[in-house]
Amino acid sequence: MKSFQNKIPPFFVHLFTGSGIIFSFLALVNVIEGNKLQTFMFLGIALVIDIVDGTLARKYKTEIFFPNIDGKTLDTIIDYINYIFIPCIMLYKFNYLPQNFTIILPIIILCISLYSYTNTKLMDSSFSYVGFPSIWNIVILYLEILSFDQFINILIISFFIFLKFIPFKVFHPMRYKKLKKINILLLFGTLLTSSILLLDKLELKFLNDSYFYFLILWIIFNSYFILFVIFSNFFSYNDN
């Protein structure tokens, strides 16, 4: 009986991780229907699930209680869909790129990211990603909020494609124990300000003169994580 009770939390952790595919489907449906805000909303929910589920899986030892279910593979499948496949459909659908690039750039991203995701050395022993970690959902979010010209978007996307081949490290901010609490706080601050800016830009138009201040706050939050990545390449985090 006790053994069964011990399996309940890890069972629900696997269900929680798997629920990300539901929001993948809902996001994709909204891309097809041209609902940009709803697409970002469902991708955002999936992102929150992905942020939380790893910590829960380690806490409740899912690999011990359900050894036949590979939680990492489950997570990777969902991540590829939410972080890469759906953002590529968004690039095609939502006019972020000039017409001549709406096919070729998404195909390049899909192919490069596919082999990147199957690379056994994608993550090193310090839980650092080697090269740009294919968070194309975040890149699309940036493009939407900042509203650059389509040709500027080409340069930005090309820059991140280039970063896939540069062996710099991107340390997972949730894995660094010394700054974990502040990283979580700033991460959810970033998600909150992103949601507010998107709501104002795509739907409600409620910020008015406050939009600039929220944009600055959003830039500050994002700048912290950019600096975090830069400094993680100069200091060792293996002892965290």
Range of the domain at 66: 2-166
pLDDT band at 237 (very low <50, low <70, confident <90, very high): low
Confidence check: pLDDT of 63 > 90? no
As a whole number, mean pLDDT of residues 217-232 equals 88
If one counts the domains in the chain, the total is 1
**146 part of a folded domain:** yes
SS3 170: strand
Q: What is the mean pLDDT of residues 190-202?
A: 92
Residue 138 has pLDDT above 50, yes or no: yes
The pTM is what?
Answer: 0.88
**Inter-residue contact 102 to 211 (CB < 8 Å):** no
Q: Which residue has the higher pLDDT, 75 or 172?
A: 75
Judged by average pLDDT, the poorest of 19-23, 138-142, 179-183 is: 179-183
pLDDT of res. 35: 94
**Is 217 among the domain residues?**
no
Look at residue 6 and tell me if it is in a domain. yes
Q: Determine, yes or no, domain membership for 96.
A: yes
Q: State the chain's mean pLDDT as an integer.
A: 86
Q: What is the per-residue pLDDT for 231? A: 79
> Is 199 among the domain residues?
no
Within a domain: 213:
no
State the pLDDT confidence band at 80, using cuts at 50, 70 and 90. very high
In a domain, 152, yes or no: yes
Residue 148 to residues 15, 114, 151, 172, Cα–Cα distance (Å) = 39, 27, 8, 28
DSSP codes, 79-132: HIIIIIIHHHHHHHHTT-S-GGGTTHHHHHHHHHHHHHHT-TTSB-TTSEEES-
The CA-based dihedral angle spanning residues 111, 52, 12, 123, taken in that order and rounded to the nearest 10 degrees: 40
Q: pLDDT, tens digit, for every residue of 1-57?
A: 556 666 787 788 888 888 999 999 999 999 999 999 999 999 999 999 988 887 788
Give the pLDDT band of residue 240 (cuts 50, 70, 90). very low
193: in domain = no
